[in-house]
Amino acid sequence: MPDPVEDQPLKGRKLLLGVTGGIAAYKAATLVRLFKKGGADVQVLMTPDAGRFITPLTLGTLSGREVLIEIFPENEDGTWTKHVELGLWADLFVVAPATAQTLARLAHGFSDSMLTATALAARCPMLVCPAMDHDMYLHPATQANLERLRSYGYEVMPPGFGALASGLVGHGRMPEPEEIFARVVEKLGAGDEAARGASLEGKEVLVTAGPTREALDPVRFLTNHSTGSMGFALAEAAARRGARVSLVSGPSALPTPPGVTRVDVVTAEEMHAEVQARKDADLVLMAAAVADFTPETTAASKLKKTGDAMTLRLRPTPDILAALGREKRPGQTLVGFALETDDGLANARRKLERKNLDWIALNNPNEEGAGFGVGTNRVTLLHRSGRTEALPLMPKRALAEAILDRVTASMRAGVPEGT
Ligand code: C5P
């Protein structure tokens, strides 16, 4: 019979396990054992108070890695960016048990221990497992903190109902280690071998990002609310996977991600020209919110107010992605983004076909936590094979990784994904 642990469903996966100072911390030992037996590489981070419930020696021995607690360790080794390295290293960060105190710290962006600092630096999905007394759990402050964490894209595993260490019976029991293990396996997509750490080594990747600006006169322009964050996250993630990445960006205040060649443009026409110059890329991720129309004429001087109504005549801009789709070469992968407020799935599917895309990521800016100017997004990924996958609400950086996992797996397999 298949064994859910011995079959090593977490082989090759890198997990951060945050352990905080609640009585359920004793269960962290079992959790580490399960993760290790499941094949994962586990780094334990403890809050200073967690050591009152379980020793770092126990968890360090079980995980095979030194447990990290303070952001400034006693034995300074001349480095202090471990939180950043770990935040980049992990595939998933689990906090179990998560006390009310740590939830509050995470919700408000504290970085006063290795655990909280790493959580701020982490690009991977987060799974928190609250464990505390019934009334602490139901207190509006804790509930508001959990809500806030959900709005950042954290998944909250609800605590169970039962006997609590306080002697009370109620909500607040940490889920059993086996349940947490099963959720982690689900979250990381067990058996999705091809997606693991999917590399883009040696690939040319072209990403577009941000809005475009279409000038009416020397001081005014038509644009949209795009900040560029989704495209920048994709460019950053692709560069980390070893690709040579060009990022053609409309006006955006975001810093250029490390290792990425950035080309700044203003108008849709300019973006079209820069994309055409790089159209041989192996993978094109077209995340820019390109203006569909531009003024027929741009006034040379500032348009004067006359007191009368004014009519603007607009002409369509080139559809940059459709142009790539028409000339798509074998082996090239094209990914578009569709922002739809109504009838999203049908419209996205039509766009995918009309523009000859391999994938389209659909999002609805009216949904909470999705769209422009927020750190999170929720997309549904549609593949040309007909496969559709609704991804959960996630930070845009985690979403970039999730999208690249799937896209890269289909590129590497060289076969239609999901068939
Ligand atoms: O047709 P629609 O604008 O909704 O399609 C969205 C996708 O097409 C996005 O990937 C966007 O970057 C791309 N697009 C484009 N050129 C345009 C308009 C949109 O490449 N003029």
Pairing of strands 244-249, 260-264: parallel
Pocket test for ligand 1, best of 226, 319, 403 (most atoms within 8 A of CB): 319
* 336 in contact with ligand 1, CB cutoff 6 A: yes
**Which parts of 265-418 are beta strand (E)?**
283-286, 293-295, 314-316, 333-339, 359-363, 376-377, 380-383, 388-390, 394-395
CA of 290 to the centre of ligand 1 (A): 6
Minimal CA–CA distance to 202: which of 263, 286, 274, 281?
281
Cα 373 from chain centroid? Answer: 15
Q: How many residues does the chain have?
A: 419
Q: What is the reported pLDDT for 4?
A: 66
Instruction: Please give the angle made by the CA atoms of 121, 126 and 131, to the nearest 5 degrees.
Output: 115
Looking at this protein, which amino acid is placed at residue 308? D
CA of 229 to the centre of ligand 1 (A): 16
* Cα-based distances in Å from 34 to 8, 27, 44, 49: 10, 11, 13, 23
Q: What is the reported pLDDT for 194?
A: 38
Q: What is the reported pLDDT for 320?
A: 98
pLDDT along the chain (419 residues), means of 10: 71 96 96 97 97 97 95 68 89 97 98 95 93 93 94 88 80 91 82 55 96 97 95 94 96 92 98 98 98 96 93 96 97 95 92 97 82 82 94 87 91 53
d(CA 132, CA 190): 30
| DSSP characters over 219-270 | S-EE--S--SHHHHHHHHHHHHTT-EEEEEESS--SPPPTTEEEEE--SHHH
Quick: pLDDT tens for 149-201: 988 889 899 898 878 887 878 788 999 999 999 999 988 864 444 344 578 99
CA of 320 to the centre of ligand 1 (A): 7
Catalytic residue check, 356: no
CA of 341 to the centre of ligand 1 (A): 15
Minimal CA–CA distance to 49: which of 26, 16, 23, 20?
20
d(CA 303, CA 173): 66
Structure tokens given for 223: 């644009």
d(CA 28, CA 20): 10
Q: What is the reported pLDDT for 3?
A: 66
pTM greater than 0.75 (yes/no): no
Minimal CA–CA distance to 154: which of 400, 396, 394?
394
CA of 115 to the centre of ligand 1 (A): 40
Looking at this protein, which amino acid is placed at residue 268? A
* 264 in contact with ligand 1, CB cutoff 6 A: no
Q: Which of 75, 145, 224, 364 is catalytic?
A: 224
* Residue 360 DSSP code: E
Pocket test for ligand 1, best of 321, 337, 372, 403 (most atoms within 8 A of CB): 321
* 338 in contact with ligand 1, CB cutoff 6 A: yes
Q: What is the reported pLDDT for 192?
A: 44
* 268 in contact with ligand 1, CB cutoff 6 A: yes
d(CA 166, CA 131): 12
d(CA 36, CA 63): 7
Pocket test for ligand 1, best of 272, 275, 286 (most atoms within 8 A of CB): 286
d(CA 249, CA 231): 8
d(CA 244, CA 253): 22
Closest atom of ligand 1 to 268 CA is 21
373: exposed, middle or buried (C-beta count within 10 Å: 0-12, 13-18, 19+)? Answer: exposed
* 213 in contact with ligand 1, CB cutoff 6 A: no
Instruction: Please give the angle made by the CA atoms of 242, 258 and 261, to the nearest 5 degrees.
Output: 80
CA of 317 to the centre of ligand 1 (A): 10
Domains of the chain are 14-191 (3.40.50.1950), 195-413 (3.40.50.10300)
Cα 120 from chain centroid? Answer: 13
* 288 in contact with ligand 1, CB cutoff 6 A: yes
Q: What is the reported pLDDT for 80?
A: 67
Minimal CA–CA distance to 200: which of 234, 231, 166?
234
307 φψ region: left (φ > 0), alpha (ψ -120 to 50), beta (else): left
d(CA 340, CA 338): 6
Closest atom of ligand 1 to 355 CA is 8
CA of 312 to the centre of ligand 1 (A): 22
* 234 in contact with ligand 1, CB cutoff 6 A: no
Pairing of strands 388-390, 376-377: unpaired
For 162, other C-beta atoms within 10 Å of its C-beta total 10
